[in-house]
Structure 1
Amino acid sequence: MPALTTIGFDADDTLWQNEQFYRTTEQRFVSMLAEHREASQVSANLLEAAKRNLGIYGFGIKSFTLSMIETAIEVTEGRVAASTIAEILAAGRDMLSHPIEPLPHARETVEKLAGSYRVVLITKGDLLDQERKLAQSGMGELFDAVEIVSDKNAATYARIFSRHGDGPQKSMMVGNSLRSDVVPAIEAGGWGIYVPHELTWAAEHAEAPVAAPCFRQIADLGELPALVESIVAAG
């Protein structure tokens, strides 16, 4: 068996833009509460609420919208106006309707690798929203499988790569999040390929596992096919 048979791709901020819409919405939200607290403090409160709520609501726009409402109640000490709640809900709906913006080299890279490897989309977040984005991206037919999960950890990758491939030891995960895409994939026994994005949510930050033999970093997805070729040749 070849050393590598399966390649997993993250979706948000790896194949298409995502975090920039959260940042824009956060700026809009902060302006709604400008008379109550400084912008930096509102953002800090929102981050804490969003992180606190991950275990309850999971990842995604709906969770973020509920966290904005919770933060508004907290910042205003329960005096937030109904009109502000309505504006927060409208901001969440705007995020859900935003068109998909593929990142450079996304489609051609997946197309190039799909002919030789099993390619699997592994993404976390709200089911309906992730399905919407995949459909709008036009890349859905390129993947051998799609997994929308509540979180990403070593057990997640071991399960997915065993189900859709030959186990994590013959698999690779490609993504922009060290915490979710790279570190746990390596912990599961596979390759972790880091593709930095200029915007990454603070909760996704982690130390790069530079000492791990199966860690690599590339500037963009356009470099991935050559990297895969070199890994397979060396194996």
Structure 2
Amino acid sequence: MIMERLQKILAGAGVASRRKCEELILKGKVEVNGETVTTLGTKADPAVDVITVEGKSIGAEKKLYIVFNKPKGVITSASDPQGRKIVTDYLKGVTERLYPVGRLDYDTEGLLLLTNDGDFAHLLTHPKHHVPKTYIAAVKGVPHGTELDKLKKGILLEDGITAPAEVEYQDIDPEGKHSTISITIHEGKNRQVRRMFEAIGHPVTKLKRIAFGELFLGNLKRGLYRHLTKEEIEGLYKQARIAGKQSKPEKRK
């Protein structure tokens, strides 16, 4: 028998990220051989034990990795109680249950990853890995270089100081009414890019994510998706692991 932690089995079967699977266990929504399990660390053998989540049996699913160009006004979620458009509404022909890797705001468009590989999602979204994400932001006014320097060094928000960002001008209105700026961040705080520009007095009017790590949106049209290549998947895994190693504090000699 090959015994594994229950949350790892669930994540590997594409139920959700490992963290979300832990929440499902704690809420009593997981059963093993007909018995409810609420203790993290419980082990099972997926080849022998019958494992169900909310009454549905899990099985080995084919792993899918998709990049989607999310339109503005779409919810980054697998469901929405208010009945608004969700990202999976656009995945025509995909029968597997897919979950977003991280989030994009309702008013933000651009590159969004979706997968049923919980370990993959966990690796890319874990705070210690700091996988870079690049956005194109249209903002009110034209931030001076000293204001952009604040973003480059890290700026204080209500939930802490941001990590240093990479910022470049893309386009500047001659009348100074608006400008377009490229910004690369290494975290995933809620509405982070919008709050960073608000903090320097230049609110965002339009925001689009164009890259996640070394994966670029390219010419993928709004509302469409494509499957990642094997090389792209391996590249994201590699980048996340390297970033994770670089984020570890050095040991004192």
TM-score normalized with structure 2 length: 0.25
Between Structure 1 and Structure 2, the one with more helix by share is: 1
Between Structure 1 and Structure 2, the one with more strand by share is: 2
Q: Give the number of the structure with larger relative contact order, counting CA–CA contacts within 8 Å between residues 6 or more apart.
A: 1
TM-score normalized with structure 1 length: 0.26
Question: Rg bigger for which structure?
Answer: 2
